[in-house]
Structure 1
Amino acid sequence: MLCHTTDLIEASKRPQVLHKPSKPYQKRIRGHEAGHSSPQDRDWPPERLRISPSSYTAEERAASSTSEKNVDPLEYWTRTKRWPKEYFKQDSQVREDLKQDSWLEEQMEQSSIPVVQYVEINGMRYPRPVKKVPSIRWKQSDTGLTGSSDQKKRESKSASYRDTLYKAFLANKGSYMHEFDDDDIPKNIEDLCQTLLERDQTVPQNSLFRDDIFKRICREIEDRNEAMVIKDITWLIVPSAKDLAMYGARHLDHLIESVNEAWTSSIPVEGPRPQPDYSVGFKRSAFTDEQLKRLDTLIGSAFHTSFFIATYRMYFPFLTCEVKCGTAALDIADRQNAHSMTLAVRGVVELYRAVKREKELHREILAFSISHDHRSVRIYGHYAIIEEDKTTFYRHPIQAFDFTILGGKEKWTAYKFTKNVYDIWMPIHLKRICSVVDEIPPDIDFGIPQSASFPQAQTPQPSNAESTSMMREDDSQVASQDVTPTTSFSQEAERVFKKPKNNRTLRPRR
């Protein structure tokens, strides 16, 4: 027994050995299969003594730091008590994965979608404007500015829509990217779409769609980016309302269009606020002074969001166009349009609901969207299904075609359709909206200053701290009033994410 104990003591005094694999460990690359082997299959080299870090001279440590890439990682850890720097560098696959997932991070950091509250007056329920939440994470693309990174901005704004789950997110909020019942298309929808498709219209005589150069331009824009497709093709698919008005269509003077401008005054349904490549709505000049006075009560100031406007210039948007290029690109464009047009239809429904006339809008097309790339076009009409207090949103596929085939037989189809929307459908839609606005009492007071409803150039923008203060004061006013919580679609749009306690959304990104 004594001899055995002595042997153990002597063995403990011997230097420990380190087993080193025959090949250095390699960093696992995401997306590639790594080979695995059992411990019995490994070839181990002869034992070698572990050398303590203190036994290295300064020169040896300096030399080893310059050859981190070639040293065995275990041996390097033994000497320096840290891993080689190369193990902390992102490879190309990791960077790509982070880029693809960044939209979810941004969505989580955004402020929660506000819950609209209703004020009940004389038996009518009116949605109250919601104070905008200040955000330091402002982007140039929100104002439609362009530059050298324009393509990256376009990709960034559609990041959330690239996820195929976005369709399910919309459905969870009551907006469906299909018909309500494919076997029962109402006659009013069928007749309207047929009229808009078949009514003849004039087309430009000298354009890139001219017969003798049409095939050439189709070849030129193949494999080009979205900006190039918009420049050469979009305005021949969806004519500009402003340009038509400038060339003599005076009934379009009351329309306003936006290009790549975020709908910062709207209340989104799911994800970030829409930012269509092209959208059309009504100017303030489309309404009388008395109607504007009634509307301003429901819309609030430039520092509020509401159901009824996209930007502080655009009231009741009714047309959007999204342009995409690449694999499955039109599906992404369809998701963007579905979100935008859900907001557009919801605004008209909520206006009618305020005066208890919402049943008139049941299965009536209230907005249109067009998605296209360098050769294909999809046209949709958007409508609501209204059942008592419940409102759900659907879309009707009007036409889908490839305008490059059959010698360009369908190249003017979308152009003529859009002009018919401007000439035939839009005036009726405006009268429909105005008839309801006239029923809104002029004396509703939510405590919103009317003078701030349309900002002047010299009005200074409040700082983030001031905006936050106004928002808190506004919230306190809501709590003190007799309000009814939202029970319609706005309630379904409430965020499931809670605001971080550290108020992360107000911190600038470094």
Structure 2
Amino acid sequence: MAPRDSVTAQKIRRQSVGLPHQGHLSAASISPRLTSKADRPQGIKKGQQQHPLRRSARLDRLIEVHELRLKASRQPLPPPASDIKVPDCAHSPPTFLPPKPPKRKREAEQQLEPPSPKRPRTSCPRPSLQDVDSITYWTQTSHWPQGYFHENGEMSHLFARKKSTDSLRRKRSDSESSAPSSTTPSDQKSREEKSAPYRDPRYRILLEAVGSYMDKSELDITKESKALCRDMLTKEQTTPKDSIFSDDVFEKAYRKFQDRNEARVIQDIAQLIVPSAETLATFGAQHLDKLTESINEGWNNSIPVTKRRPQPDYSVGFKRSAFTDDQLKKLQPFVGDLTDNSFFMGTWYMYFPFFSSEVKCGAAALDVADRQNAHSMTLAVRGVVELFRLVKREQELHREILAFSISHDNETVRIYSHYPVIEGKKTMFYRHTIRKFDFTEQDGKEKWTAYKFTKSVYNTWMPAHFKRLCSAIDAIPPDIHFEVLE
């Protein structure tokens, strides 16, 4: 190599070591022009022909890498996506081209020009709407991103579950071995058998172990909920005209069912304490057509909190037909088939139960009824909380009444409301006492109190509750497809 070529190459190498990280890199920055005598290296005469510049393969690679990085830096950065996984291109190693033989100056200038569109893409693809922050996505579309529930897995426990083989085998065995004259359907137990676990006072402790307390919380229900309970207690409602609770026959009728068993109490007065929602709908209350009720039927489609599932004497929830086809489609992954277990079901035909009633005989037996109602309404409240937690709105339910229950015998009534206390991911269930009274005292002055209150639950509280449920169901993404859990 000629001395002048050696000097020029060394100068170029010194300049290439400090390649800039930003800005435009051109051939001029690597091959400075020799425009004046002062700028020309020593030993080069004016008009003397210069030989083409030569560079090492390492310098070629540095220039190539810099061009790739410069192009990547011009791509717009995606917005933050805390809940959505996007392709991780930031940590991909840079693509180094294989060593090439030294090129002439014109070839080097062509190499430094912008790469051809056919060159493999090295930057992350531009993010779509699915890739943006999940909260922003929800505010723009009113539902969560497509991958939201697939990625975090936090809600997988909500999906419907298949009944265990042992449970189905046990039911078949029970139905085959029982005498037809003394049995209830295979998914139910006799009144005596179903009450047995609740007779133990320690059942209260069992409920507390799963976060359900038969007492009010430290803060109790909200002020608005208390005001609502007072209004429902005093709100005037129509009552049956001809019944054993009529003023002229009440005292005489009371003597006949006094000290009788539960079956007699249920036959004579149960529907005068707690009116049937379906009967009221039959007699013209069209807004109650969306309700369904169960009588001494096991909640075998629910997911239990204890070993035994509830079997209330009377319960009320929503029919399948109360919901639109689109809402049912969104609920399907969480409800499953007719034989599956779900957080949102009581019986196979009852969605989101919200009321239960238990009938007993004797003051001590009312404590048993209270435990049964507390168990049933724990599942009812839990289902609503899980629905709202699914759409990130659970705090709307904090200390709000989500269910009611009534325990009564042949003379005493206890009315309760049930509500959740939500602290982050933890939910606890509590009970608020609305009233306890003897409806036979003062010549039956309070005999219609429970009846009117229950109608207020149907007429005043239920429509607002149903609207709230529907708003949460509508917010469920339409693209959730999970297999039913075993």
Whether contact under 8 Å (1:124, 1:355) holds in the other structure is: no
Aligned 1:370-385 pairs, distance under 5 A:
370-385=406-421
**Residue 366 of structure 2: aligned partner:** 330
**Residue 5 of structure 1: aligned partner:** none
Please, which of 191, 194, 199 is the counterpart of residue 157 of structure 1?
194
Whether contact under 8 Å (1:277, 1:320) holds in the other structure is: yes
**Residue 274 of structure 2: aligned partner:** 238
CA pair 427-185 structure 1, distance change in 2 beyond 3 A: closer
Aligned partners of 1:402 and 1:253: how far apart in 2? 32
Aligned partners of 2:171 and 2:301: how far apart in 1? 14
CA pair 147-211 structure 1, distance change in 2 beyond 3 A: farther
Aligned 1:244-259 pairs, distance under 5 A:
244-259=280-295
**Residue 133 of structure 1: aligned partner:** 164
Aligned partners of 2:395 and 2:151: how far apart in 1? 20
Q: CA RMSD in A?
A: 2.1
Q: Does residue 298 of the first structure (1) align with residue 331 of the second (2)?
A: no
Aligned partners of 2:314 and 2:346: how far apart in 1? 12
Aligned partners of 2:221 and 2:387: how far apart in 1? 25
Whether contact under 8 Å (2:221, 2:419) holds in the other structure is: no
Please, which of 464, 473, 480 is the counterpart of residue 444 of structure 1?
480
Aligned partners of 1:340 and 1:149: how far apart in 2? 23
Relative contact order (C-alpha < 8 Å, sep 6+): which is higher?
A: 1
Whether contact under 8 Å (2:245, 2:272) holds in the other structure is: yes
Q: Does residue 196 of the first structure (1) align with residue 232 of the second (2)?
A: yes
Aligned partners of 1:314 and 1:185: how far apart in 2? 26
| 1:267 positional shift | 1.1
Q: Does residue 178 of the first structure (1) align with residue 232 of the second (2)?
A: no
Whether contact under 8 Å (1:124, 1:356) holds in the other structure is: no
**Residue 149 of structure 2: aligned partner:** 120
| 1:223 positional shift | 1.7
Question: Which letter does structure 2 place at the counterpart of 1:154?
Answer: R
Aligned partners of 2:354 and 2:171: how far apart in 1? 26
TM-score using structure 2 length: 0.65
**Residue 28 of structure 1: aligned partner:** none
Question: Which letter does structure 1 place at the counterpart of 2:200?
Answer: D
What is the CA deviation profile of residues 168-223 of structure 1, one whole-angstrom value per residue up to 9, with x for unaligned ones? 000111000000027x6531121010111011000001001011110112111112
Secondary structure of residue in 1 paired with 2:212: coil
Aligned 1:27-426 pairs, distance under 5 A:
120-121=149-150, 125-126=154-155, 127-134=158-165, 135=167, 136-138=169-171, 148=182, 153-181=190-218, 186-326=222-362, 328-426=364-462
CA pair 405-219 structure 1, distance change in 2 beyond 3 A: same
Whether contact under 8 Å (1:161, 1:335) holds in the other structure is: yes
**Residue 14 of structure 2: aligned partner:** none
TM-score using structure 1 length: 0.62
Long gaps (5+) in structure 1: 1-118, 449-473, 476-510
Aligned partners of 2:197 and 2:361: how far apart in 1? 17
Aligned partners of 2:380 and 2:240: how far apart in 1? 30
**Residue 457 of structure 1: aligned partner:** none
Aligned partners of 1:185 and 1:287: how far apart in 2? 29
Aligned partners of 1:320 and 1:411: how far apart in 2? 19
Aligned partners of 2:397 and 2:450: how far apart in 1? 25
Whether contact under 8 Å (1:371, 1:379) holds in the other structure is: yes
Question: Which letter does structure 2 place at the counterpart of 1:168?
Answer: I
CA pair 390-430 structure 1, distance change in 2 beyond 3 A: same
| 1:303 positional shift | 2.5
Aligned length: 328
Aligned partners of 2:447 and 2:307: how far apart in 1? 34
| 1:137 positional shift | 3.1
Whether contact under 8 Å (1:124, 1:354) holds in the other structure is: no
| Rg (Cα) greater in structure | 2
Whether contact under 8 Å (1:214, 1:408) holds in the other structure is: yes
Long gaps (5+) in structure 2: 1-147
Aligned partners of 1:152 and 1:185: how far apart in 2? 34
Aligned partners of 2:214 and 2:427: how far apart in 1? 15
Percent sequence identity over matched residues? 59
| 1:120 positional shift | 3.4
CA pair 189-330 structure 1, distance change in 2 beyond 3 A: same
Aligned partners of 1:407 and 1:152: how far apart in 2? 37
Aligned partners of 1:294 and 1:267: how far apart in 2? 19
Aligned partners of 1:433 and 1:123: how far apart in 2? 24
Aligned 1:430-441 pairs, distance under 5 A:
430-441=466-477
Aligned partners of 2:437 and 2:375: how far apart in 1? 22
Whether contact under 8 Å (2:345, 2:353) holds in the other structure is: yes
Question: Which letter does structure 2 place at the counterpart of 1:261?
Answer: E
Structure 1 moving runs of 4+ over 6 Å: 149-152
Secondary structure of residue in 2 paired with 1:304: coil
What is the CA deviation profile of residues 269-318 of structure 1, one whole-angstrom value per residue up to 9, with x for unaligned ones? 12310000000000011100000000111111122101000011000000
Aligned partners of 2:441 and 2:314: how far apart in 1? 25
| 1:363 positional shift | 0.2
